[in-house]
Amino acid sequence: MARRGVPIVVVAAMVVSLASCGLFDDEALPPSERLCDLGRGNDQGVAGHDLAASTRLPDGSVLFAFGDTYLGTVEGDTRTTTGLLNQTGALIPEGEDICSDELRYLTGPGGEVRDLLADPPTEGSAYWPVDLAVRDGQVWMLFRWVQRASDEALDIEVLGTGLAVADPDELEFRAAATLLVDGGDPLPSALVAHDGDLVTLVCGGDLDEGDCRLHLLDTDTVSIGRLLPPPAVGLAAAEMGLGRTTVDGEEAWRASSMPELCGRLDVAVQDGDGWDARPVLEPEPTGGGLCYAGRVQETYSSPDVLVATWVESPQERSDADVYWPHVERIDLREE
C-alpha cells in the first residue's frame, strides 16, 4: 500500500462516538500541552509516519509500532521522500520519556529501517499495526489487512484483522496462520494483556453503531473469545487505546479514540457496571490536512495525567511539520 506512494488513513463507516452525537459539546476540556513530534529528529533516515501503538517490553524498554512510514530526509520544515514502508517499529530505552532522543527504529541486517511484518500474500495489499501487548514473555501485535478499494485516498477495504507474535529480543513478527476476523465487520480495535490473557475491544458486528465491547482473545485457536463486563463502551474507532487505570483506589478499564477526522479525542473509564465517557483534547491541525489516529498512550500515562498521540496528514508531502504523531500531555488534575 505505502509503496504506491500515498499514505492511507483507515476510516471505517462505524467510526462514530458519543462526541459526534453532540452529547459532549458543552463540556470543558482539561488543560493540555504539546510535548513533541514522536520520532522527529532521528538520524536513521525516517522522515515521517502515522499511527502509534506502544507496549512495555520485559526489559523495561517501550516498543512503538507505526503505520505508513516515509524514508528520506528532513531539513527545517522541508521533507524529501526517497521511499515508503508499510509499517515500522521503534524502541525507547527504559527510564526515558516518550519524547526521548534515544528512540531507535528497528533495522535489518544491513542497518536499514525495516518493516515489522513481511508483505501480505495478496499483491497491492498491506498490513497495518493496530495495537501491541506483552503476554507470557511474547510480544503480540494486532494488525489490519487492507487494500485500496478505489483511487480515493480514504476508500479502503478491510480484508481482515489478525494477530502476529514475536520474541521480545528479536522483534521479528510472524503473522498467525488464521485471521481473527475475515473482512471488516466486526473490527477488533485494541489489544492489552490483563490477568494472563489478551483482551481486545470489538467494534461493529451486531453492536449499535459507534460501540465496542471487551472480549478475550484465544491465541491457541486465533479467535475472539468470551465477552467481558462491563457492557458496551460508548466509543468506537478503527484504532483505539485500551488500558488499566484506577478510580477511587479500584482498578478499572480505560478506552480512548478519536472517532472523526479532526474530531475530539474521547476517553471512557469504567464506572461500576458502566462507562463514564468524556472528551479530553481538541486537535489543532496546522498543515491544512486531516487529523486522525488519536489515542491515549497508556504506557506513559497515569490515572490523572494522560499522554496522547494524534496524527496530522499533510496536503503536501514536503511539509515536514506534519505526518508525525503529535504528543500531548493532558492534566486531569488541573481542571
Looking up residue 103, the CATH number of its domain turns out to be 2.115.10.20
pLDDT at position 315 is: 79
| DSSP state at residue 28 | P
Mean pLDDT, the chain, whole residue set: 89
Residue 335 pLDDT exceeds 80: no
Q: Cα–Cα distance between 320 and 317 in angstroms, integer?
A: 8
Domain tally, the chain = 1
pLDDT at position 215 is: 96
Q: Does residue 318 sit in helix, strand or coil?
A: coil
- Show the domain range for 76: 2-334
Summarize pLDDT for 249-303 with one digit per residue, the tens: 999 999 999 988 889 999 999 998 899 999 999 999 886 778 999 999 999 999 9
Residue 10 pLDDT exceeds 50: no
CB 188 within 8 A of CB 202: yes
Task: Give all strands of the β-sheet with 53-56 in edge-to-edge order.
Answer: 53-56, 62-66, 88-92, 104-105
Q: pTM of this prediction?
A: 0.92
| DSSP state at residue 4 | G
Summarize pLDDT for 179-228 with one digit per residue, the tens: 899 988 889 999 999 999 999 999 987 666 668 999 999 988 889 999 99
